[in-house]
Amino acid sequence: MEVLSTEIVMFGGEAGAGDLRKAMSQGGTSQFQEVIRQELELSVKKELEKILSTAPQNESEHTKKDLEGFRKLFHRFLQEKGPSVDWGKIQRPPEDSIQPYEKIKARGLPDNISSVLNKLVVVKLNGGLGTSMGCKGPKSLIGVRNENTFLDLTVQQIEHLNKTYNTDVPLVLMNSFNTDEDTKKILQKYNHCRVKIYTFNQSRYPRINKESLLPVAKDVSYSGENTEAWYPPGHGDIYASFYNSGLLDTLIGEGKEYIFVSNIDNLGATVDLYILNHLMNPPNGKRCEFVMEVTNKTRADVKGGTLTQYEGKLRLVEIAQVPKAHVDEFKSVSKFKIFNTNNLWISLAAVKRLQEQNAIDMEIIVNPKTLDGGLNVIQLETAVGAAIKSFENSLGINVPRSRFLPVKTTSDLLLVMSNLYSLNAGSLTMSEKREFPTVPLVKLGSSFTKVQDYLRRFESIPDMLELDHLTVSGDVTFGKNVSLKGTVIIIANHGDRIDIPPGAVLENKIVSGNLRILDH
């Protein structure tokens, strides 16, 4: 692993670069690296003990679990060498391991769908902040449609299910220490909804200095100087933190059997009764422990993780794991036709079993960051879908693109706020008035990045029913009741400003230069 070769010089007091060269010439590198590894693990263990000693008594047990989880992850990080997949072993998944959604839907629904629904828990990954869209606080509290937030829409969807089928499907939010407090404050407004809402927290791991590989944090606090010293370790942490919270056992005790896990900002990730029925009543009598919803790649999705066959099991391969020489092949839409939507259906009993056996194996994602003061750190993360290879009888289901509608940018926000979609009981569906089922390609420039700037630049959301492609760059504003059709490109050069007048209809147009509309 590259990082170790630089470390060897660093721990120079006892084992310097000269010693390393000597060890290499004598064929003893692995032995020497092992000594370095052990030294480093010991140093990290001491640092973690120091941090733990600063924890207040009421947080001690929880902090201990977090730091122990981090230590295990760090140990694995030091053991791994090079890319985590051998490209030569990657194969296309067998035909029957990725089922078309149409085939699953064609089975229909049983009469007792309510009792099937009562076995389900909906889990939303709610650890992220709205910072990339210029918002403070949890991303799930950003308004996305008619003043409704991501969280509002989620609660409405599940309440609608519970009322329609007279069921008790609970909602579980996996928060992070970044989102927990603000989310809990807002949950009070759902007290009268017909949805039980539970929360649990992701672990809190220390960021490590890129050079020394030691934790940046000096104590357990995460305010003041320590704000940037901690991070939530990716959604792969769901298995351990769900188990450690005690909530997993509680839900199993209530007769729940499956969780449907998805990102809270994926507005297409609604409970699908056909997939649930396939899980609970499999045609071959053998239940799947893990189902991953995948969908066909477009050119916009070339970086998405893909399902492959690897050493006889389904395996999620992410772009970060691919050797550089094969990245273009990985991105190829013809060889790897599908990508992971991160909508996952997982057996609760299997999570409990594998967690207790310490048998959930997920590749480590090394995420480099630069802190505000300029310090380079790395954070070790895992991804929830990577665990697919640890479960028995896993399956991919190739779902329609409509089940993947993530809102990561204001360009995505414009799509879901527009008349392309209609909102019903918290669910967005493509308008029947749109002739093509494909979603237009929208690229808004940097003047639109922050939600408040974006909202200020649209007096009302344009009619986009016949739009194929929209690119906007520079200082551009839109008047009321604008209609956009075909391909529309609007570019205001530096120092120029373009105001699209109210009621304008732009069809296959390029607008550039300067267009000011002044009130008089």
The CATH number assigned to the domain holding 415 equals: 2.160.10.10
Give the angle subtended at the CA of 79 by the CAs of 75 and 71, to the nearest 5°: 5
Judgement on whether residues 293 and 160 belong to the same structural domain of the protein: yes
Same-domain check for residues 154 and 112: yes
Domain boundary among 403, 426, 460: 403
Residue 425: domain span: 410-512
**Residue 77 is assigned to a structural domain of this protein:** no
| Domain contains 5 | no
Q: Which of 354, 370, 403 is the last residue of a domain?
A: 403
CATH number (domain holding residue 336): 3.90.550.10
- For residue 65, is it within any domain? no
- Ligand-binding annotation for 105, yes or no, is no
Strand partners, 427: 424
**Of the candidates 410, 409, 402, the residue with the CA atom closest to the CA atom of residue 427:** 402
What's the confidence (pLDDT) of residue 11? 35
pLDDT, residue 514, reads 78
For residues 197 and 325, state if they share a domain.
yes
391 within 8 A of 364, measured Cβ to Cβ: no
Looking at the fold, whether 239 and 272 belong to one and the same domain comes out as yes
Instruction: Give pLDDT, residue 302.
Output: 76
Question: Is there a binding annotation on residue 385?
Answer: no
H-type helices in 146-223, by residue range? 150-165, 180-187
Please indicate, yes or no, if residue 338 is contained in any of the structural domains.
yes
**Residues designated as active site:** 408
Pairing between strand 365-370 and 376-381?
A: antiparallel
| Number of domains the chain is built from | 2
> Annotated binding residue at 139?
yes
Q: Is 234 annotated as a binding residue?
A: yes
* pTM summary value: 0.90
463 is in an annotated binding site: no
- Please indicate, yes or no, whether residues 480 and 337 belong to a single structural domain of this protein: no
At 26 the pLDDT is 46
- Do the domain assignments include residue 32? no
Same-domain pairing of 322 and 301: yes
Are residue 254 and residue 327 in the same domain, yes or no? Answer: yes
Distance of alpha carbon 511 from alpha carbon 259, whole angstroms: 49
**Same domain as 276, residue 310:** yes
Would residue 78 count as lying in a domain? no
Do 431 and 374 fall into the same domain?
A: no
Of 368, 385, 403, which residue constitutes the final position of a domain?
A: 403
Query: Does residue 120 sit in the same domain as residue 232?
Result: yes
pLDDT per residue rounded down to tens, the chain (520 residues): 333 333 333 333 333 333 333 433 444 467 777 888 889 999 999 999 999 999 999 988 989 999 999 999 999 998 876 666 788 888 888 888 999 999 999 999 999 999 999 999 999 999 999 999 999 999 999 999 989 999 999 999 999 999 999 999 999 999 999 999 999 999 999 999 999 999 999 999 999 999 999 999 989 988 777 889 999 999 999 999 999 999 999 999 999 999 999 999 999 999 999 999 999 999 988 999 999 999 998 877 877 889 998 888 899 988 878 888 888 888 887 778 899 999 999 999 999 999 999 999 898 988 899 998 899 999 999 999 999 999 999 999 999 999 999 999 999 999 999 999 999 999 999 999 999 888 999 999 999 999 999 999 999 999 999 999 999 999 999 999 999 999 999 999 988 999 999 999 999 999 988 776 655 4
What's the CA gap between 223 and 492, in Å, rounded? Answer: 42
In a domain, 438, yes or no: yes
* One domain for residues 146 and 255: yes
Whether residues 99 and 167 fall in one domain: yes
